[in-house]
Structure 1
Amino acid sequence: MVKVLVVEDEASIREMIALNLRLAGMEAVEADSAEAALPLLEQRPGCDAAILDVMLPGMNGFSLCETIRRTDQKIGIIILSAKGQEQDKIRGLSIGADDYMTKPFSVSELLARVEALCRRVGRSAGAEAGEQAPASLVSGSFVLDENRRVLLKAGKPIELTQVEFQIMELFFRNPGVALVRERILKGVWGENYFGDVKIVDVNIRRLRMKVEDEPSHPAHILTVWGYGYRWEE
Structure 2
Amino acid sequence: MHERILIVEDQEDINALIALNLEVLNYQVSCALNGTDGLQQAQDGEFDLIILDVMLPGIDGLQICKILRANNLFTPILMLTARKSEADRVVGLEVGADDYLTKPFSVLELQARVKALLRRMEFNKQQQTEEGSADDITVKQLQIHKTKRVVSLAGQPINLTAKEFDLLLYLVSFPGQVFSREQLLNAVWGYRHSGYEHTVNSHINRLRAKIEQDPANPQFVLTVWGVGYKFSE
Distance 1:154-1:201 versus aligned 2 partners, 3 A rule: same
Confirm or deny: 8 A CA contact 1:73 1:161 kept in the other structure: no
Distance 1:157-1:117 versus aligned 2 partners, 3 A rule: farther
Residue 193 of structure 2: aligned partner: 195
Residue 109 of structure 1: aligned partner: 109
Task: Classify the secondary structure of the residue corresponding to 2:44.
Answer: coil
Residue 2 of structure 1: aligned partner: 3
Confirm or deny: 8 A CA contact 2:43 2:68 kept in the other structure: no
What amino acid sits opposite 1:13 in the alignment?
I
Confirm or deny: 8 A CA contact 1:33 1:57 kept in the other structure: yes
Q: TM-score under structure 2 normalisation?
A: 0.81
What amino acid sits opposite 1:194 in the alignment?
R
Q: Give the deviation of 1:119 after TM superposition.
A: 3.8
Task: Classify the secondary structure of the residue corresponding to 1:118.
Answer: helix
Residue 42 of structure 2: aligned partner: 41
Task: Classify the secondary structure of the residue corresponding to 2:115.
Answer: helix
Q: Deviations over 1:161-190 (max 9, x none)?
A: 654444323311322332112322343345
Matched, 1:175 2:162: no
Q: Deviations over 1:210-230 (max 9, x none)?
A: 434555664432333432112
Task: Classify the secondary structure of the residue corresponding to 1:58.
Answer: coil
Equivalence map 1:23-102=2 (5 Å)? 23-44=24-45, 46-102=46-102
Q: TM-score under structure 1 normalisation?
A: 0.81
Distance 1:218-1:99 versus aligned 2 partners, 3 A rule: farther
Aligned length: 229
Q: Distance in 2 between matches of 1:156 and 1:126?
A: 29
Confirm or deny: 8 A CA contact 1:134 1:146 kept in the other structure: no
Structure 1 stretches of 5 or more lacking a match? none
Residue 139 of structure 1: aligned partner: 139
Q: Give the deviation of 1:88 after TM superposition.
A: 0.8
What amino acid sits opposite 1:28 in the alignment?
V
Distance 1:43-1:152 versus aligned 2 partners, 3 A rule: same
Q: Distance in 1 between matches of 2:179 and 2:209?
A: 20
Matched, 1:11 2:36: no
Q: Give the deviation of 1:42 after TM superposition.
A: 2.9
Q: Give the deviation of 1:34 after TM superposition.
A: 0.4
Confirm or deny: 8 A CA contact 2:96 2:163 kept in the other structure: no
Task: Classify the secondary structure of the residue corresponding to 1:42.
Answer: helix
Q: Distance in 1 between matches of 2:216 and 2:35?
A: 34
What amino acid sits opposite 2:132 in the alignment?
A
Distance 1:72-1:106 versus aligned 2 partners, 3 A rule: farther
Q: Distance in 2 between matches of 1:111 and 1:226?
A: 36
Q: Distance in 2 between matches of 1:158 and 1:117?
A: 27
Matched, 1:204 2:204: yes
Confirm or deny: 8 A CA contact 1:124 1:149 kept in the other structure: no
| CA RMSD across the alignment | 2.9
% identity of equivalent residues: 39
